[in-house]
Structure formats: C-alpha cells, structure tokens
Amino acid sequence: MTPLRRILFPRGGAAGGAARPPRSSLVGRRRARGLFLAATIAFAGTLVHAQDFRTGTVAERYLLLCANCHGRNLEGGGTGPSLLKDTWLHGGDDDSIARSIRNGFPEKGMPAWGAAFPEKEIRAMVIYLREARAKAIRDQARASAPPATVTAKSQLHDFTLETWVDQVVEPWSLAFLSPNQAIMTEKRGFLYLIERGKLAARPISGLPKIYVGGQAGLMDVVPHPDYATNGWIYLSSSEQQTKADGTPGAFTRIIRGKLKDGVLIEQQTLFQAKLEHFIRADWHFGSRIAFDGKGYLFFSIGERGQNEHAQDLARPGGKIHRLHDDGRVPADNPFVGDPAAVPSIWSYGHRNPQGLAFSPVSGELFSTEHGPRGGDELNLVRRGLNYGWPVISYGMNYDGTTLTELTAKEGMEQPIAYWVPSLATCGINFYAGELFPQWRNHLFLASLAAEQLLRIEVAGGKVISQEVLFKDLGRIRHVITGPDGALYVLLPTRIVRLTPAP
C-alpha cells in the first residue's frame, strides 16, 4: 500500500507546511481507485480530502489527521496534548472521547470530524487510542517474570502463587475428578491424569483423531456432575473431514467417555456438525463446556471466522448450545420448532466464546467472548437471545479498518462488560472454595494477550468491580477452583496454585 505521506505530499511537502500536492495528482489517484471527491477540509494549512481518510486503516487516518498536533506516536508535543496519559480535559471514557472527535474544539484549533466520516470510523479511532495507551503502560510497567513462588497483595486477600505442575505444553483445561486426582488437556491433542500434583508419564490413549492446527486441537475437559457414580468425562475438540468437493474442513465436536487403565473407553459423540458445515479455517472453534446442575450440558462453538454464520440459525457456528447430558436435544430449546434451525442452539450472535460458567448464586450462565481488535465481552447468556456479532461490536478489524458503526441495536443483547483494547478473554470460574472467604462467588477470568488474571464481582447481572490479581507470567488459558479451595491457573508451561499468604 502506498504510504499516505507519498500520496498527499509527493513533492516533499509536510503536513502543516506550505507545500501541498497538485490537485490533479490527487484526483487522478482517486479516479484510479474508483473513488468520488466528497469534501475537502482545510486543516493546519493543508488541503485534506475526505475520501483520503475514509479509506485505509485507522493508523493511517491518525497520521493524516491527528499526528501534527498530538505527535506521530501520540506523545504530544504539537498544539495538542499527549494521548498516552490518563488526563482527559473533556472526559476519558469511550463516549467522551468519541464526542471530542466528532464535535471537535474549533476554538482550540481541533476540527469537528463528525461530518467527515461515519460513526464506525470514530469508534475505530477510540479503539486505536485505547490500544496505544495500554501499550505505553505495559512498556513502562513490564518487569522480569517473578520466580516460581511469589507472595502478592490484592484488595481482599493476600496470596501465594506457587508452581503445582511443571513441564506441560499449552494446557487448555483442567478438572478435578477427586480431591487427589485431576485431568488436563493440552491443545496439541494430549489428555493427562495428574495424581497428587504429579503429571502422569504418559497421556491417556484411545482418544478419537484430533485435528491440531492454528487454534484447533483438544480443548475443554469436564467431568459429569455425578462423575463419582457414572464416570462420564466430557471433551471438546476439533475434527477434520473431507467435504464433498474434496476439500478439507474442520469443526468442533463434543464427546464423552470413561477412563479405564489409562484408556478412554465407551466413547459417545454427543455433537457433530453436518459435513457441509465444516469450514476450511484454523480458528474460532470455541469451545467450553458447562453443566447447569439440572442435567443439561451447555457448550460453545465459535463462528469459525465466518462472521455471518453467527446470525444464521441454520448453522451451528457462533452459538452456545444446550443438550441433555446424553446428547438428546431438549424439547424446550428455543429453536426446536424451527425446521431450518440447528435444534441444539441456546443463544446466537457469538464470535468465539472460550469461557462458560454458571453462577452459584443466581444459577445464570455467563460467557466470555473474544472480540476482534477490541471489544472482548463478558455476556449474561439467556435462552434464545441474539448477542449481536457481527452486526454490533465494540471492536474493529485486525487490519485497522472499521467493522461496524453500531455498538447497540434493538433486539441484540449488550455485554455486561467489554474490554478495549482486547485482553483475549478466555476461561472463567466462579470461586467456590473456603480458603478465600471474601472471594467466594466472585468470577475469575483468564486472559491470553493481556496475561492477566482478573477478579470480577458480579451482582444483579452487572459488573460491580474488577481487579487484576497478577500479570506478565504468560498467556493464561483457564482458572478453576480446586477441591482444596485453592485457585488453579493454567500458564503456557505450568499450572500454578493460589493459596492464602502466611
């Protein structure tokens, strides 16, 4: 892509300087792209054409419109202040920043950009500013990783973090089968038992063939609520099939089985997509599993990178599903009466949900969802509702182009929390132990990109408070409460255990 500087100033003129490119050069380039001259705005002595910043990425628009005053790296130094500091003269929340961009401050030399480009472009600029500030904070605060054992302070409890199991490879999920025995998945396709904190020498055998590539692999593992009696273990994984046209495709599959002498036996497939629904892509498989305590099995599947599939009830991707624990479709599922709909669907309009947990207080289902670039969500999931993707979103495309100008629409649910920039929200768990009494029933959230473990207090379907317990130990895939009351957190190469500080 030709840099905007070369397009706008081919003779060496600088933004804010006297020189500017010949009009014929700009018009010729726009005509070659099939664009139409919409408007011109005089800014800092330079003639800026609206179409030049209605195309391209948000970073290019920032350099064209904002860098002259706020600095190329948002550091300030021109007539405008730094955008990296938490000092906002006219409000620092998303709506206030968007309003400042939209309406401007002409008396201070900042034009109103609302007439020049649509709301989705303004939203993208808000995300861009948020990302830049978060990166600046990380760069200043990043320190060397703490040792294997460390004591830390938090708002409600001080805790010790220590390595419980070492030498694992990308652990995806962990579940306890008894006080002394746990089971763990590794994304690369291995299932391991852990006895009294010691990893088994060999993985469990007998698993079905698992497709591993990109984000595909072996994902969640959850025992049946009555595991001690029936022995059922539930697994989500990706499988690959050859489609009718001869091309490979992959999708999420849910199975259950029982353990015997290190082998997974009595396997049953509870959910498997139709062959025509398999997608040739290696991302957005989901997939978490949760039981509601009433005999129902819930699981999530991402939209497999096909945005429009999340709104299509005839496709299983981008949905949260509900089945009986033996795989039967409940008669009261919301779309059972629609012959065109996938009958297991419970809710839709999801992007890539990788966290799923029921509140022990309200019995309500909560889900975390990966947004695009910005806009990760925490949702309160209810029967038959539409959660909006990709029609509404608080994020933008990864390449910096805008996705949608809508963050809300009638008939589509709002998240109870969202994060800009993205944390890469993943596994969640409501703390149910006794070691940390003030944490009881609080929601704990693992994040990948931000490398944070968050504590979130939820009441009445709303987020009351958030706290980062620790960060910068690596990407965090999941967190669960152990039968001993400790919190177990999955890092890239080890599982750590949180207990009260001495």
**Residues taking part in catalysis:** 284
Q: Which of 1, 3, 21, 2 is nearest to 11 (CA)?
A: 21
Q: Say how far apart CA 72 and CA 83 lie, in whole Å.
A: 11
Which positions ≥6 away from 35 have C-beta within 8 Å? Answer: 51, 55
Angle between helical axes of 119-141 and 94-103 (0-180°, round to 10): 130
Nearest to 422 by CA among 460, 395, 399: 395
Rounded to 5°, angle at Cα 323 from 320 and 328: 145
Nearest partner of 418 among 373, 464, 366, 375, judged by Cα:
375
For residues 273 and 302, the answer to whether their CB atoms sit within 8 Å is no
Establish whether the linkage from the previous residue to 343 is cis, with ω within 30° of 0: no
Type and span of the H or E element at 267: strand 263-272
Contacts of 259 (CB under 8 A, 6+ apart): 193, 204, 231, 233, 265
For 104, the token pair is: 């401007």
Q: What whole-number distance in Å separates Cα of residue 116 and Cα of residue 172?
A: 46
Q: Look up tokens 């038959």; give the residue.
A: 384
279 is written with which tokens?
A: 């997608």
DSSP output for 36-52: ----EEEETTEEEEHHH
**Which residue's structure tokens are 């088994």?**
200
H or E segment and range at residue 164: strand 159-166
Would you give the distance in Å from CA 211 to the centre of its chain? 22
Residues 6 or more apart whose Cβ sits within 8 Å of residue 25? 10
End-to-end CA, the chain: 58
Long-range contacts, stretch 227-231, CB < 8 angstroms, 24+ apart: 227/177, 228/178, 231/258, 231/259
